[in-house]
Structure 1
Amino acid sequence: MSNMARIVFIGAGSTVFAKNLMGDILGFPELADSTIVLMDIDEGRLATSEQVAHHINDVLGTHATIEATTDRRKALKGADYVICMIQVGGYKPATVIDFEIPRKYGLNQTIADTLGIGGIMRGLRTIPVLLDIAHDMEELCPDALFINYVNPMAMNQWALNRGSSVKTVGLCHSVPHTARELAEDINVPHENINYLVAGINHMAFYLKFEDRTTGEDLYPRIRQVYDEGRMPDWNRVRYEMFNRLGYFVTESSEHFSEYVPWFIKHDKPELVEKYNIPIDEYLARCQAQITAWDMMQDARDKDYNVSESMIREALDGIKLMPRMVEGTVSSVLNYDKFERSVEYGSLIIHSMETGIERKIYGNVPNTDIITNLPNGCSVEVPCLIDANGIQPTVIGNIPPHLAALMQTNINVQALTVEAAITGKREHIYHAAMLDPHAAAELTLDQIWSMVDELIEAHGDMLPAYS
Structure 2
Amino acid sequence: MNAPRIALIGAGSTVFAKNLLGDILSFPELAGADIRLFDINQPRLDVTEQVAHRVASAVGARPTVTATTDRHRALDGADFVINMIQVGGYEPATVTDFEVPRQYGLQQTIADTLGIGGIMRGIRTVPVLADMSRDMERLCPDTLHMNYVNPMAMNVWGLARLSPRIRTVGLCHSVQHTASELADDLGIPVEEIDYLCAGINHMAFYLKFEHQGQDLYPRLMELARTGQVPPANRVRYEMLRRLGYFVTESSEHFSEYVPYFIKNGRDDLIEKFNVPLDEYPRRCVSQIGGWEDLRVKLQDPTEPLEVKRSVEYGSLIIHSIVTGQPRVVYGNVMNSPATGSGKLISNLPDECSVEVPCLVDRQGIQPTRIGHIPAQLAGLMQTNINVQALTVEALVTGNREHIYHAAMLDPHTSAELDLDQIWSLVDDLLERHGDFIPQALQAAD
TM range (shorter): over 0.9
Match of 1:461 in 2: 436
Match of 1:231 in 2: 229
User: What displacement does 1:292 show?
Assistant: 2.0
TM-score if structure 2 supplies the norm length? 0.96
Aligned-partner Cα distance in 2 for 1:361–1:133? 24
Match of 2:264 in 1: 266
Tell whether the 8 Å contact from 1:9 to 1:82 is kept in structure 2 after alignment.
Answer: yes
Match of 1:194 in 2: 194
The 5 Å alignment of 1:250-289 reads 250-289=248-287
2:179 is the counterpart of 1:179: yes
- Residues 155-179 of structure 1, C-alpha deviations (whole Å, 9 max, x = no match): 0000011111100100000000000
Tell whether the 8 Å contact from 1:186 to 1:225 is kept in structure 2 after alignment.
Answer: no
TM-score if structure 1 supplies the norm length? 0.92
Match of 1:322 in 2: none
User: What displacement does 1:151 show?
Assistant: 0.2
**3-state SS, counterpart of residue 424 of structure 1:** coil
The 5 Å alignment of 1:121-270 reads 121-164=120-163, 165-211=165-211, 214-270=212-268
User: What displacement does 1:133 show?
Assistant: 0.6
Aligned-partner Cα distance in 1 for 2:298–2:85? 25
Tell whether the 8 Å contact from 2:331 to 2:356 is kept in structure 1 after alignment.
Answer: yes
One-letter amino acid of the counterpart of residue 346, structure 1: S
2:318 is the counterpart of 1:349: yes
One-letter amino acid of the counterpart of residue 310, structure 2: S
One-letter amino acid of the counterpart of residue 99, structure 1: F
Aligned-partner Cα distance in 1 for 2:96–2:142? 37
User: What displacement does 1:300 show?
Assistant: 6.2
Tell whether the 8 Å contact from 1:99 to 1:109 is kept in structure 2 after alignment.
Answer: yes
The 5 Å alignment of 1:10-409 reads 10-164=9-163, 165-211=165-211, 214-298=212-296, 336-367=305-336, 368-409=343-384
**3-state SS, counterpart of residue 294 of structure 2:** helix
One-letter amino acid of the counterpart of residue 228, structure 1: T
One-letter amino acid of the counterpart of residue 434, structure 2: G
Tell whether the 8 Å contact from 2:51 to 2:298 is kept in structure 1 after alignment.
Answer: no
Tell whether the 8 Å contact from 1:158 to 1:365 is kept in structure 2 after alignment.
Answer: yes
**Structure 1 residues without counterparts, runs of 5 or longer:** 306-334
User: What displacement does 1:74 show?
Assistant: 1.0
- Residues 272-326 of structure 1, C-alpha deviations (whole Å, 9 max, x = no match): 0110000000000111111221222245679997xxxxxxxxxxxxxxxxxxxxx
One-letter amino acid of the counterpart of residue 317, structure 2: I
- Residues 399-418 of structure 1, C-alpha deviations (whole Å, 9 max, x = no match): 00100000000000000001
Aligned-partner Cα distance in 1 for 2:277–2:203? 20
Match of 1:422 in 2: 397
Aligned-partner Cα distance in 2 for 1:233–1:184? 14
User: What displacement does 1:269 show?
Assistant: 1.3
One-letter amino acid of the counterpart of residue 145, structure 2: F
- Residues 199-242 of structure 1, C-alpha deviations (whole Å, 9 max, x = no match): 0000000000001xx20000011112112221000110000000
* 1:156–1:219 Cα change, 3 Å: same
- Residues 346-378 of structure 1, C-alpha deviations (whole Å, 9 max, x = no match): 000000000000000000000100000001200
Tell whether the 8 Å contact from 2:20 to 2:312 is kept in structure 1 after alignment.
Answer: yes
Aligned-partner Cα distance in 2 for 1:140–1:303? 36
Match of 1:316 in 2: none
* 1:231–1:342 Cα change, 3 Å: same
Aligned-partner Cα distance in 1 for 2:268–2:177? 29
Tell whether the 8 Å contact from 2:298 to 2:305 is kept in structure 1 after alignment.
Answer: no
Match of 2:339 in 1: none
**3-state SS, counterpart of residue 360 of structure 2:** strand
**3-state SS, counterpart of residue 375 of structure 1:** coil
**3-state SS, counterpart of residue 465 of structure 1:** helix
Aligned-partner Cα distance in 2 for 1:401–1:270? 27
**3-state SS, counterpart of residue 225 of structure 1:** helix
Tell whether the 8 Å contact from 1:205 to 1:250 is kept in structure 2 after alignment.
Answer: yes
One-letter amino acid of the counterpart of residue 430, structure 2: I
**3-state SS, counterpart of residue 198 of structure 1:** strand
Match of 1:309 in 2: none
**Structure 2 residues without counterparts, runs of 5 or longer:** 337-342
Tell whether the 8 Å contact from 1:36 to 1:67 is kept in structure 2 after alignment.
Answer: yes
User: Quick one: percent identity of the two aligned structures?
Assistant: 65
Tell whether the 8 Å contact from 2:11 to 2:37 is kept in structure 1 after alignment.
Answer: yes
Aligned-partner Cα distance in 1 for 2:301–2:189? 40
Match of 2:340 in 1: none
Aligned-partner Cα distance in 2 for 1:94–1:195? 37
**3-state SS, counterpart of residue 308 of structure 2:** coil
Match of 2:407 in 1: 432
How many residue pairs were aligned?
434
The 4+ residue runs of structure 1 with deviation greater than 6 A are 300-305
* 1:354–1:431 Cα change, 3 Å: same
Tell whether the 8 Å contact from 2:156 to 2:332 is kept in structure 1 after alignment.
Answer: yes
